[in-house]
Amino acid sequence: MMVNTLNDLQQLEELDKKHFLHPTSPIKQQQESGPSFIFKEGRGIYLEDYKGNVVIDGMSSLWNVNVGHGREELAEVAAEQMKKLAFSSCFATYSNEPAIRLAAKLAQLTTGDLTTTFFTSGGSEANDTAYKLARHYWILKGAPEKKKIISRTKSYHGVSMGATSATGLKPFRDFSSSIAPDFLHVDHFSTDALRERILIEGPETIAAFIAEPVQGAGGVHIAPDDYFKEIREICDFYDILFITDEVITGFGRTGEWFGMNHYGVTPDMMCFAKGVTSGYAQLGGVILSEKMHQDFSDFSSGTLLHGYTYSGHPMACAVALKNIEIIERENLVRHAKEAGDLLLEGFKWIQSERKIVGNVRSLGLMGAIEMIKAREAKSKSPLIVNEAAKRGLICRSVVFDDQDTLVFAPPLTIKKKEIEKMMTILNDAIKSIEESS
Ligand SMILES: Cc1ncc(COP(=O)(O)O)c(C=O)c1O
């Protein structure tokens, strides 16, 4: 299929409006105005659309294109694997080499005794898997009443039924009229709130607590230094499993291999997706502690009745292995830390230039700029996102919970000059909204 003329492009836009229901999208605007960009190519931190617009992908698309766009070696490894073995089952005792090698590599990259991976196709499936494994674990250990899952306000865990139910951002839960039972939410930074909730519910009813090391979609919220150590202690004390959702924070995003490394804490289960393949293939999973894995084996009498068709997909796992090799070879984790310092410097410069900018923060290449919001005033961040896009920068606005925040997560490969360019565009975009309000 070729798009050569303006007519071809208009046709494509019409087909989009009529036939493509976009995920997490402003449906009316999408249907009336069509797509704002139809991307055709990506190179490094840049995306290009059919109209010839070239924009900086300041979000790594969905926080996931960690190694940047246009990596031919990832395309090549996918093609090689598909030619050799595109798919075979991993159910029962069947296996394949890329899945085995990736599981072993993840055990090496993670801290503590996280040794054993269950693969999924993405982050929501990973989180649902972790909830089900937690509940199944307690059934096997003779405590079937331990089934409640506690998560945090401002959290985002995905859109499958369990993941939506765990998500702390209420509009996602309100999207459908009924969510899954036994999901509870506590204040995102308060360990006391967790303790109180455990005591109210009774620890004998709680299966697990789940948290993102840095909350992403909820507005890039970075926990206080001691928060997760205390969380680990609380979970240990009450015999509650601790699950980390590293779907965004994994694979170098925060300037460490995993977000929880900043806090020196190892969970019982770690969920991952996105950056594991930098979005070049659909893959996620849950890495279990050696103890949990051993307990599953020791206490189970039958089949582990949980599995997706694409659990351990050979092509996706081969892409992940190559993606991890690139991150290692190019020292992208260290680079993300250094580039993250520059990003924060840039944010601070904008803060000093623009009077509507409030708090700025980042951890590695996950950052946020808050707008100072007068009560009842209209949010400015969505307008800034539109302005920035026109000027060549894609970023995202978060307006949940009365926030008015811009969030950023550029590819880990971003260079100093590119950060400077990003900051210039951003400053100009904020200035134009500042002057028009
Ligand atoms: C922290 C976190 N967990 C889970 C998910 C869901 O992942 P997926 O969209 O791959 O199902 C996301 C997606 O943005 C996420 O940010």
Residue 377 pLDDT: 83
Distance 94 CA to ligand 1 centre (A): 28
pLDDT given for residue 59 in this prediction:
98
Å from CA of 156 to ligand 1 middle: 7
Query: HSE (CB half, 13 Å, CA atoms) of 175?
Result: 15
Q: Is the CB of 210 under 6 A from ligand 1?
A: no
Instruction: Return d(Cα 209, Cα 191) in angstroms, integer.
Output: 12
Rounded to the nearest whole angstrom, what is the distance from the C-alpha of residue 314 to the centroid of ligand 1?
22
- State if residue 418 touches ligand 1 by the CB under 6 angstroms criterion: no
**Would you say the CB of residue 217 lies under 6 angstroms from ligand 1?**
yes
Any ligand 1 atom below 6 A from CB of 122: yes
Best probe residue, ligand 1, of 243, 258, 274, 276 (max atoms within 8 Å of C-beta) = 274
Among protein residues, the one whose CA lies closest to atom 7 of ligand 1: 123
CB 280 within 8 A of CB 75: yes
Residue matched to tokens 């951002």: 169
Whether 221 lines ligand 1, by a CB cut-off of 6 Å, is no
Q: Which tens digits make up the pLDDT trace of 271-291? A: 999 999 999 999 999 999 999
For residue 247, the CA-to-ligand 1 centroid distance in Å is 6
**Ligand 1 site-directed mutation target among 62, 65, 119, 124, most atoms within 8 Å of CB:** 124
pLDDT for the residue numbered 357: 97
Question: Which residue minimizes the CA distance to atom 13 of ligand 1?
Answer: 158
Ligand 1 contact via 128 beta carbon (within 6 Å): no
Q: What are phi and psi of 120, to 5 degrees?
A: -130, -175
Burial class (CB in 10 A: 0-12, 13-18, 19+), 195: middle
Q: What is the pLDDT of residue 305?
A: 96
What is the distance in A from the centroid of ligand 1 to the CA of 282? 12
**pLDDT for 2:** 79
> 57 C-alpha vs ligand 1 centroid, how far in Å?
18
Q: Is the CB of 273 under 6 A from ligand 1?
A: yes
For residue 374, give the nearest of 404, 334, 400 by alpha carbon: 404
Distance 254 CA to ligand 1 centre (A): 16
Among 121, 157, 167, 308, say which to mutate for ligand 1: greatest number of ligand atoms within 8 Å of CB. 157
Q: Please name each of the domains of the chain with its CATH number.
A: 36-67+331-436 (3.90.1150.10), 72-329 (3.40.640.10)
Cα–Cα distance between 230 and 208 in angstroms, integer? 15
Distance 124 CA to ligand 1 centre (A): 6
CB 319 within 8 A of CB 326: no
Rounded to the nearest 10 degrees, how much is the dihedral formed by the CA atoms of 101, 105, 108, 109? -170
Low-confidence ranges of the chain (pLDDT < 50): none
Q: Which of 37, 81, 26 lies closest to 283 in space, CA to CA?
A: 81
Report how far residue 191's alpha carbon sits from residue 93's, in angstroms, rounded to the nearest whole number: 42
Find the 436 Cα to ligand 1 centroid distance in Å. 35
Question: Ligand 1 centre from 331 Cα, in Å?
Answer: 25
Residue 219: CB within 6 Å of ligand 1? no
Residue 28 confidence (pLDDT): 94
Q: Is 212 in the pocket of ligand 1 (CB under 6 A)?
A: yes
Beta bridge partners of 369: 360, 406
- pLDDT, residue 1, reads 64
> Which atom of ligand 1 is nearest to 160's Cα?
11
- Atom nearest to 125 CA in ligand 1: 11
